[in-house]
Structure 1
Amino acid sequence: MFSLNNVLYFQAGLGALANIFLLFFYTIIILCHRPKPMDLISCQLTFVHTMMFFTGGNVWLTDLFGSLNIENDFICKATFYINRVMRGLSICITCLLSVVQAIMISPSASLLAKFKHKLKKYIIYALFYFWSFNLSFSSNRIFYVGAYTNVSETSQVKVTKFCSLFPMNHIIRGLILTMTTLRDIFLVGVMLTTSAYMVIILWRHQRQCKHLHSISHLRASPEKRATQTILLLVFFFVVTYWVDFIISSTSVLLWIYNPVILTIQKFMMNAYPTITPLVQISSDNRINITPKNRQKLCH
């Protein structure tokens, strides 16, 4: 278990540093330039993933406050609630990222093209709705998480050294799990649909490029690269999210939190927030800090 914990700490450290760097970068872009629609979404996604590392994964904040003998019932409720909100926002914003990119690369004759001229407005509305929905939907965490006590071992499940989950009515538990599953199935379905649409667009574009001059292909390459990046992120998200969801759903239904299973779940939960900034950093030419790019970034 010691080696597994070391892997978790390394993963959390790498993911947190990458997300903080990317958050700083997108903040500069938004404040100093006219940001693209994708920059607004990517900034939100990076902020969400940064908060996930500080409130989830190893849930080190709760153990830190507990070890310092600080009253941690509020800390347990706050960290678990915020982490649940951030996890919901992660899937919502990733879905939005996929939809917006599908709109941006859609041909002018398609039905999606009419949304291009008001894309920023729609993005702001969508982000406001996602935040409102997840803040209210995850509020049950406030009532069913708290500081661990030794009063009754059977009435609570210890999930960290100082925090535990309290028993939940079977009907309420099933209702929450059903609503969460329906939400996730819908959003993943939208992601897969838009991803298939983008693959078709890229395939058609590739066929057209074979008959055009190489300069035209070069002009289209940044858009193509951005689309491929989002397709890669969607693929990673679908794989890691559903493995995590299956593990967590099984634990909730059976009310079993085995330390090894919990460690695997933490690793899978941190996988997507760790992969995302690394993929974005490697694929965004603006992050190549040359003297020329640095001058553009600050003017």
Structure 2
Amino acid sequence: MNPNGIILSIVFCSQTVVGVLGNSFLACLFFFMYFIGHKLRPIDTIHAQLACFNLLLLLSKGIPQTMAVWGLKNFLDDNGCTLVFYFQKVSRGLSLSITCLLSGFQAITISPSSSRWAEVKARAPKYIVPTSSFCCITHLLLNIIVFVKVNGTQSSRNRSELHDYGFCSGLEATKIGDALFGAVVLLRDAVFVGLMVFASGYMILLLHRHHKINQYLYVNSLSSMTSPKARATQSILLLVSTFVCFYSLNSTFISFMYFRKPRIWLIQCSGFLSVCFPTFSPFVLISSDSQLLRYCYGLWRKKVPHL
């Protein structure tokens, strides 16, 4: 293996291991806190789902691309390759959807109780699971096309008709149906990203108004009404900003890859960017959401007896 291959294998392997550990810790934290009887916040349901879907993306994307960099390009047959690629697409779409749901839910949560959102605010926690379930079913059905478009590396098709993605191959986008499917996916992503940006802007506006009120009242810290909510909102804004940044860069690479045969460096850059958000998101939440740190401390006190 050449020096570049060694560096890439270390980067991809480290990225996957760190991301898997972070998301596994976050998912297990919510799981244990729930089963020991600790009352979780409604938003923690979304955090747990996001950690699970990010973990699925890391396992289906990070591990195969790391093995491909190591030179193991024939370790999956046609069925295995198709399933791995399918779970990549599904988990990527769900990560986008759940991040959008997270930002929207928080925007509703911090909205003034006297506003037009008062009734929606009261009912919002009840719609978290149904909404995420609908997103899950939608992405599972939307990406069925993967079973037609993706083949194993040992596919009998003409190699000139295939895009080589390292461990899988996909047919070139030459048909009208392929262009329509790409347009549907692009529209879906644009809608979710647009909703995230809108919700983030709304939250920033609310925080700015609250800050001005505090200054007017000569209060140096956030009021008791919004202090925890403000910190949670800031963590979600940071999370959404991270997602939009990595998503925008990766979408640019994917656009080139979808309509022409991708070069190896383009595939590697896209692969790296596609798992950056799943890798960093649990650490962004843990470091910026004080409630998650309290969960960790509470779980530690349960396990370690006082002397």
Q: Which residue of 1 aligns with 2:10?
A: 6
Structure 1 Cα separation of the partners of residues 254 and 221 of structure 2: 50
1:101 partnered with 2:109: no
Determine which of 220, 223, 230 is the counterpart of 2:226.
Answer: 220
Pick which of 146-155 and 30-39 moved more: 146-155
**1:236-251 correspondence to structure 2 within 5 Å:** 236-251=242-257
Pick which of 23-32 and 202-211 moved more: 23-32
| Number of residue-to-residue matches in the alignment | 295
Q: Is the 8 A contact 2:73 2:166 kept in 1?
A: no
Residue by residue over 1:160-180, the C-alpha shift from the partner in whole angstroms, topping out at 9 and shown as x without a partner, is 24x211345421221111111
Pick which of 133-142 and 27-36 moved more: 27-36
Letter of the 1:8 counterpart: F
* Shift in alpha-carbon separation, 1:242–1:71, aligned structure 2, 3 A: closer
Structure 2 Cα separation of the partners of residues 297 and 199 of structure 1: 39
**1:24-173 correspondence to structure 2 within 5 Å:** 24-31=28-35, 32-60=37-65, 72-149=77-154, 151=156, 152-161=158-167, 163-173=168-178
Letter of the 1:229 counterpart: S
Q: Is the 8 A contact 2:100 2:192 kept in 1?
A: yes
Superposition deviation, residue 158 in structure 1: 1.9
Superposition deviation, residue 150 in structure 1: 6.9
Residue 165 of structure 1 aligns to a residue whose secondary structure is strand
TM-score, scaled relative to structure 1: 0.90
| Unaligned 5+ runs, structure 1 | none
1:19 partnered with 2:29: no
Q: Is the 8 A contact 2:27 2:52 kept in 1?
A: yes
Same amino acid, percent of matched pairs: 30
TM-score, scaled relative to structure 2: 0.87
* CA RMSD between the two structures: 2.6
| Unaligned 5+ runs, structure 2 | none
Structure 1 Cα separation of the partners of residues 263 and 107 of structure 2: 41
Pick which of 30-39 and 283-292 moved more: 283-292
Determine which of 217, 227, 238 is the counterpart of 1:232.
Answer: 238
Q: Is the 8 A contact 2:214 2:222 kept in 1?
A: yes
Letter of the 1:157 counterpart: H
Superposition deviation, residue 183 in structure 1: 0.8
Structure 2 Cα separation of the partners of residues 297 and 196 of structure 1: 41
Structure 2 Cα separation of the partners of residues 80 and 8 of structure 1: 17
Structure 2 Cα separation of the partners of residues 160 and 250 of structure 1: 16
Q: Is the 8 A contact 2:78 2:154 kept in 1?
A: no
1:179 partnered with 2:180: no
Letter of the 2:195 counterpart: V
Q: Is the 8 A contact 1:157 1:165 kept in 2?
A: yes
